[in-house]
Chains A and B, each alone.
Chain A
């Protein structure tokens, strides 16, 4: 059914269609509308039987989901930013125990300075947690990925994080196609746990494992993710067959066929990049974009296959590894081992800084001329950076950094070039 709705609400409806047994809710922007939407569906009896639990922290949210999943329930929660960090210990635990929990991460920056706007720092911080990480480009894809995520999680008995850009997707009203319950039921069978707490057949789950088997347990988690490189496209193909649209998969190229320059990106910025590329293609520039939908497992072979014909690769990422540079670009570089390509890392959109077509095009022109810095910060305001460095050079007690910079920027906080 076509519907004009908010991204968060579309996800709430998709999750409800998956018939979760237990939902743990803790508020954090920009994820709140999702659990609010689900809470309403439980409260009014639309989604039943289902336990909607208002927990006291994100750590508890994931812990309740762990208990529920281990007892055989389909468990769901959503979080973002500080919330994901606060639950980090339980995030690793859920994957270590092999519990197929599905969690939405409404991607948001991590403080300090506190910032509620979008970037990918939060889910990137958990990229090694053993969870599968799927990134949505649009609200429709976010909706579809949740339905695929439960299927994938339960097939592998591993948890899946569906990442969608906070505000840009979660709060955007767009037309989405919401499937019928019967269609989802046909696609997603009831949860059949691989391990379950059951008095009829008692098992001990979560025992201590020493050096004699720990490596092997970790390897098996890796083996599961590697097997997901096969499951993810298979499930996406089946989804396409049933629902009639492409969503998910490992990677998706756009105008990459004869491209000399390929931009790699995750999430909603792919939309802006497509517009940029269309405009550049119109002027005869051979450029394309490769969107990565499955960040964990990272599809090394698919990325290499998509990029190896190009002359240069520009990774535009909303994440930043302080002291090194790119996060996604490090993985992309691994996929390109041995290939002599020009590689650029462009850190963009941190803390919700708008990524405009104008800036992208300017940056891409420099990349194509091979004058771009290997590590570029898109639209970085060097004026206020240098002023702060100067201040710090002059006096030790130079004051709080964020406050100084805001004073320099003046009253216009949102910068759109």
Chain B
């Protein structure tokens, strides 16, 4: 950055373009841009996954000089991008199964390594990204993912986490947050929505494998997301990027609120944004303007049962406590930030 940042875009806390060095500025449209996921795909309006994937894959393409192959798990991203004979993918791309994207990535990386050795090179210039949603990552693809991590295979795995099985009609995954209504955690009974005390925290599980790089990001800060992908591509071995991608359909939120909700997830502490190398946290994105969890939950109909006269204040207290725990655990607050 050229100078100390003093001004942010109103309400967003995003640094204005004109205050940034040219290479850090956001470019919305440019013929230079890869557009690895080309326009015309069939994602919903306001799809966080389409946005996250587009920026992540474009960044990886830039970082590798377009020498990139992607393996994709079954799910929304796969379905909306390849209603053949149409395909949005401007890079070599393979979809095999729901639960094996990480292993397919391992296989591609192994093939590339042997191909390079046969050509007399130490390693391949072509790199591999495997990607999937939270179901394909935290549930059905978990075994393959952990195996890929443990072997330190040369694959960047990107999880686009929209916190449920959206492609099949919004069923609970192990990434669904407590209290959230899904088609299999119904908003009925005395404890509506997903149970408390269940679910898994995949970035922390990834860190436990002591792999070279683990990072989280959201689609409200695309610069940060791109920087993390670019950094990941400078490293070799197993790398994991977990991106929170709001889903208007599954979350019951307005299409125009995708970026706002991603920001609120971060600024409530519900979704900590950080980087870790070899199992240790190396950097966290501080909360600039801390907000209570209600601000994040209210715009989402999946949490509607928590509010109103028949609401569940006790559940709000627990969700707030979880957010507070994240803030303590990752040190997400600056001294001067006001709660």
Q: List residues of A whose CB falls within 8 A of some B CB.
A: 21-22, 24, 48-51, 53-57, 59-60, 63-73, 75, 89-90, 93, 97, 197-199, 201-209
Contacts and interface: CB of A to CB of B under 8 A. Distances in A.
Contacts of B94: 67, 70, 197, 204-206
A68 B111 CA distance: 5
B113 interface: yes
Contact of B104 (A49, A67, A201, A209): A67
A204 B106 contact: no
A206 B92 contact: no
Contacts of A64: 103-104, 106-107, 110
Given A206-B94, A208-B79, 5 more contacts: A21-B114, A51-B111, A66-B107, A72-B111, A89-B99
B97 interface: yes
Contact of B114 (A24, A50, A54, A199): A50
A64 to B, nearest CB: 4
Contact of B108 (A24, A70, A201): A70
A290 B146 CA distance: 48
Contact of B92 (A55, A59, A69, A199): A199
B144 A60 contact: yes
B78 to A, nearest CB: 7
A51 B69 contact: no
B110 A73 contact: yes
Query: Nearest 4 CB-CB pairs, A to B?
Result: A67-B107, A63-B103, A56-B147, A73-B111
A51 B143 contact: no
A204 B87 contact: yes
29 contacts: A21-B114, A22-B114, A24-B107, A49-B114, A50-B114, A51-B111, A51-B114, A55-B103, A56-B143, A57-B147, A59-B100, A59-B103, A60-B144, A60-B147, A67-B71, A67-B107, A67-B108, A68-B111, A89-B97, A197-B93, A199-B66, A199-B126, A204-B84, A205-B92, A206-B72, A206-B95, A207-B87, A208-B84, A209-B84
A67 B96 contact: yes
Nearest to B118: A49
Given A49-B117, A73-B114, A75-B107, A207 B67 contact: no
Interface in B45-100: 66-69, 71-72, 78-79, 82-84, 87, 89-97, 99-100
Given A56-B143, A209-B84, A67 B114 contact: no
Interface of B: 66-69, 71-72, 78-79, 82-84, 87, 89-97, 99-100, 103-115, 117-118, 126, 143-144, 146-147, 150-151
A208 B106 contact: no
Contacts, number: 158
A193 to B, nearest CB: 10
A68 B96 CA distance: 12
A203 B92 contact: yes
A51 B108 contact: no
A70 B100 CA distance: 14
B113 A90 contact: no
Contacts of A49: 113-114, 117-118
Contact of A199 (B68, B83, B144, B150): B68
Nearest to A65: B107
Nearest to A209: B84
Given A63-B97, A68-B107, A208 B151 contact: no
A93 to B, nearest CB: 5
Given A60-B100, A64-B104, A53 B151 contact: yes
Given A50-B114, A64-B103, A204 B89 contact: yes
Contacts of B99: 59, 89
A69 B97 contact: no
A8 B71 CA distance: 33
B334 to A, nearest CB: 42
Contacts of A24: 107
